[in-house]
Amino acid sequence: MSQLDFSKLCADSLRNFTKENYNIKLKAAHAHELVAAYFGYNSRNAMISDKRFPIGKLCEAEVIVMISDKEIDARRSELKDLSAEIPDSYTLGEAVYTPLFKDLSLYKSEFPLFRSFERFAKYFVENSQRWKDTIKKLGDFQYEHIVSALEHDDRVVIKVVHTSKVSEVEYIENGETILTLPRIAGKIGFGPLQVKIISKAGGERRVFKKPGGQDV
């Protein structure tokens, strides 16, 4: 599907949603600009001119991590004469992404949509047999996962440090998972996922005061 077709599909969904649920006639221009924002762009023109990571390839994405509501709010504030009556960015997002689920040819991944890289990482770990076979087999500990994400132009690298509680104030590292998400569609579509899981023992294991990454 082309960028133009994709933009129109989601913009029409957004306009229908605001009309049917809030009796607000959202301008087509505003709808297209909002759709672009939800896909990570500053404007519709920027979205449709992106040849490197065309949003039309979203159907090939293995993982979708949505743009934060804070970023959408910032873009909304820039749109002249946008109705103040339209609902919050979280609610509007449901209308933007609805076409992905109505048409199974647009999003075929086994993963749901995620609202942050941290949520994706924790979901992956909790549902990964590889993690269970590599890290969790070390013991039935009370695990805490410390997640950090580094965004590059063409990929996002997520590091998950797996720690277990050893006292009321200390956690010890048992291993780490590195998730690399190559960007393929806009700012939200990634794949194929690359996974590296490492178990640690002895002097390799760091001690943390608490989940959050602060070394003792």
What CATH number corresponds to the domain at position 198?
Answer: 3.10.450
Q: Are 187 and 216 contacting, i.e. CB atoms less than 8 angstroms apart?
A: no
Q: What is the pLDDT of residues 91-115, one digit of tens each?
A: 999 999 888 777 666 777 889 899 9
Q: Which of 13-17, 19-23, 125-129 has the lowest mean pLDDT?
A: 125-129
pLDDT in tens, 151-185: 999 999 999 998 888 887 788 888 899 999 999 99
Same domain, 54 and 127: no
The predicted structure's pLDDT at residue 208:
81
Question: Beta strands of 5-44 (E only): which ranges?
Answer: none
Looking at the domain assignment, is residue 21 inside a domain? Answer: yes
In this structure, the answer to whether residues 129 and 174 fall within a common structural domain is yes
The predicted pLDDT at position 78 comes to 95
Q: Please check whether residue 9 lies inside any domain of the structure.
A: yes
Residue 141 has pLDDT above 80, yes or no: no
Please give the tally of structural domains in the chain: 2
pLDDT value of residue 100: 76
Mean pLDDT value across residues 16-32: 95
Q: Taking all residues of the chain, what is their mean pLDDT, rounded to a whole number?
A: 88
pLDDT at 216 over 50: no
Instruction: State which residues form the domain around 182.
Output: 117-208
Pick the last residue of a domain from 102, 135, 156. Answer: 102
Are residue 98 and residue 123 in the same domain, yes or no? no
Sign of CA dihedral 196, 200, 204, 208: positive
Are the CB atoms for 59 and 189 separated by under 8 Å? no
- pLDDT for 189: 95
> From CA 32, how far away is CA 23, in angstroms rounded?
19
Q: What percent of the chain has a predicted confidence (pLDDT) above 90?
A: 59
Instruction: Using a pLDDT cut of 70, give the percent of the chain over it.
Output: 93
Q: Helices 28-38 and 69-76, interaxial angle, to 10°?
A: 150
